[in-house]
Structure 1
């Protein structure tokens, strides 16, 4: 017996689904093919990105425990907090949705559901970020099955995007560019970082963006030389560098963009660094072709940066996968990086964000980025916003 409420009469047809049912049928079929290849009976998904990718399930309430069980054949079964059932039915085409109630143990409820399914073994996402070690320990102790490791199985399927996903990312890119245009325009002496951030977010949202998986980055003056710093009421002054980065979203698919502004005349060193960053980005983009290892893009950019003498100003990967995102990160950097040693070849349909940034730490940052789609002929940038340093 379950505490699931039958809300089908209330919502006869899903009302907030992102894609048509055929798209999710294709994804579940791909997961099931991976299960058969692994000799696995079923896979338990707990990460919000993977659950969304497989079913369309999304909510701001994903902080509450949820789990999706995909068996080698048959329909998936979703477990959510009871308060979330209406949204789960509205956002997915799933016929089997069960719930746990506030004040009860969701792991015990999951054990009951898994036991009723008659499973003997269950692969789980042990490398996922969403479930705490304590919850995993209770799952190990409570679930009436043998648990095996299914980490990375769904992530590998997410890296190459479908045409519907690519369309969503293109839309997100347009929202992002609108936000960057507004932010650049707002940068002036005497204007606060908050005002610039407000202009950026308002423009992206007005253009169509939904909730963003991570806050935009707006920092000025010495604060712009601190990685991942963002607005804190600082008033902009003559001679300031301004760092701007945003990833807007369409149906949870994100596209990022970064640009640099200098209020007043930039020092020669800052302009040399900016020129180097632009050349590094160009080199990385030129190296991105189907069949070439992902490491090639990073190595091409690193060669330009090293030759210019700015190795210490970079020291990071040149890019990472983009697509589905929930807080705390707007990227899919845990899925695939453009970095040394990454030998997976580029394939059409992959999407990456390439932030080419050079820093004088604690002083300023300059650079530019692009979100790109891999096509048969190479990397297609999704922005036409000039990459050069904007001097105000």
Structure 2
């Protein structure tokens, strides 16, 4: 049986694994098409797994292959390799599924050329890693009268404000993320390894219902925690070392991350000072993340809190980033960043992770965070970080 026959025989299962009702997708597609019209775009080619999921429900753990969604005012065409026919049929509701042999990339271009005939302006995201140069080069060669237009901000502008169903998914993820970090924190002890702690957290995440995650549990201790984006590697935890943890469960692909740092013993005065700064940053951000204020203004308020440690500690410069429905290799949505120079304004139902991690190079790092939702009155956490460097022993 070839992939085309397989696709046809799966049609009775069409949409059976889709996590949202058609009304949700209709709302999203209408907003995207209105943005296309405002930008004078006749079609948009989306290649990011999260963008395709947002408009169709397409969900898979295989995100390394070429997949694309062609959006026009009239139709949605989903293009996938033969190994992805099953998810394409069962997790989506689209007008047209076009599959190609996984091993034969020569079959990718012709179907796109046929469907783009007569299109003068095609929107693409040139900064999206899933957009293959081979695709854009061949489209430009085969359709010389068609302009490829940078439309990277088009979908981001729609996705950044979450619907009620999306907020429900993020709240469910927040609950599971908290359960995972709590279990990991309970496993922190001198002599345990960072892998032991990650294992305890991962088990709790999956037991609580997490799907495969956009990033796996992050656990590092001691000097390793002073280096960003390392992860557990069977390293023993020493007495009185801080252990940095960052988890993000997935619920219908939506992720509400959280950071926590727990000391395997007694925190030093310096650790407590850095931790207290993280807490003041968090409280300051929540007080200024209000509808109508810019991301830049929130970052500048936080920078004032950070100033006393700005020379001693490394901070990434991003006080918050949007989260939503994502796939590996990251849970960062990318539709908004709380950082200096970002002039976009907060609006109700935007959701941000606040990655407040301060690292003293060669010593250790302290990070604590919540995922927060913007409301009409301000910002409120979805996650429930206990904001403590120690774990209370059971009574």
Q: Same fold (TM over 0.5)?
A: yes
Q: Partners of 1:195 and 1:201 in 2: how far apart?
A: 10
- The alignment's C-alpha RMSD in Å is 1.9
Residue aligning to 1:286: 287
Tell whether 2:35 aligns with 1:34: yes
Alpha-carbon separation, structure 1, partners of 2:277 and 2:327: 33
**Where does residue 133 of structure 1 map in the other structure?**
133
* 1:343–1:175 distance in 2 versus 1, CA, 3 Å: same
Q: TM-score, normalised by structure 1?
A: 0.93
Distance in 2 between the 1:61 and 1:358 partners? 34
Give 1:53-64 correspondences, 5 Å limit: 53-64=54-65
1:87 partnered with 2:118 = no
Cα 1:29–1:225 shift into 2, 3 Å:
same
The corresponding residue for 1:118 is: 117
| Matching of residue 109 in structure 1 with residue 77 in structure 2 | no
Which digits, 9 at most, give the CA deviation of each residue in 1:27-77, with x for residues without a partner? 1111111111111111111111111111111111221111111112x1211
2: CA distance, partners of 1:216 / 1:142:
45
* Partner SS state of residue 88, structure 1: helix
Gaps of 5+ in 2: none
Distance apart, 1:130 and its partner CA: 1.1
Q: How much does 1:113 deviate?
A: 3.8
**Aligned mates of 1:200, 1:12 — CA distance in 2:** 35
Q: How many residues align?
A: 387
Residue 165 of structure 1 corresponds to 166
- Displacement of 1:358 in angstroms is 1.6
Q: Distance between the aligned counterparts of 2:10 and 2:367, measured in 1?
A: 54
Determine helix, strand or coil for the equivalent of 1:266.
coil
Secondary structure of 2:248's aligned partner = strand
- Structure 1 stretch displaced more, 128-137 or 365-374: 128-137
CA distance in structure 2 between the partners assigned to 1:248 and 1:61 by the alignment: 18
| Alpha-carbon spacing, 1:12–1:134, altered in 2? closer, same or farther (3 Å) | closer
- What's the counterpart of residue 372 of structure 1? 372
Q: Is the 8 A contact 1:193 1:232 kept in 2?
A: yes
Instruction: List runs of 5+ in structure 1 lacking aligned partners.
Output: none
Q: Displacement of 1:12 after TM fit?
A: 4.3
Cα deviation, residue 132, structure 1: 3.4
SS at match of 1:313: coil
**Secondary structure of the residue that 1:53 maps to in structure 2?**
helix
- 3-state secondary structure, aligned to 1:335: strand
Conserved 8 A contact 2:323-2:352:
yes
Calculate the TM-score normalised by the size of structure 2.
0.93
Rounded to whole Å, the distance in 2 between the matches of 1:112 and 1:259 is 48
How far does the alpha carbon of each residue in 1:316-353 deviate from its partner, in whole angstroms, 9 at most, with x for none?
21111111211111112x32100011111100010000
Whether contact under 8 Å (1:4, 1:97) holds in the other structure is: no
Distance 1:147 1:284, change over 3 A: same
Distance (whole Å) between structure 1 residues aligned to residue 13 and residue 318 of structure 2: 47
Residues 66 and 147 of structure 1, relative CA distance in 2, 3 Å threshold:
farther
CA–CA separation in structure 2 for the residues paired with 1:63 and 1:280: 37
Change (3 A) 1:10 1:366: same
Equivalent in the alignment of 2:344: 344
8 Å contact 1:280–1:305 — kept in the other structure? yes
**SS in structure 2 opposite 1:242?**
strand
Output the CA distance in 2 between the equivalents of 1:203 and 1:336: 30
Would you identify which runs of 4 or more consecutive aligned residues in structure 1 move more than 4 Å? none
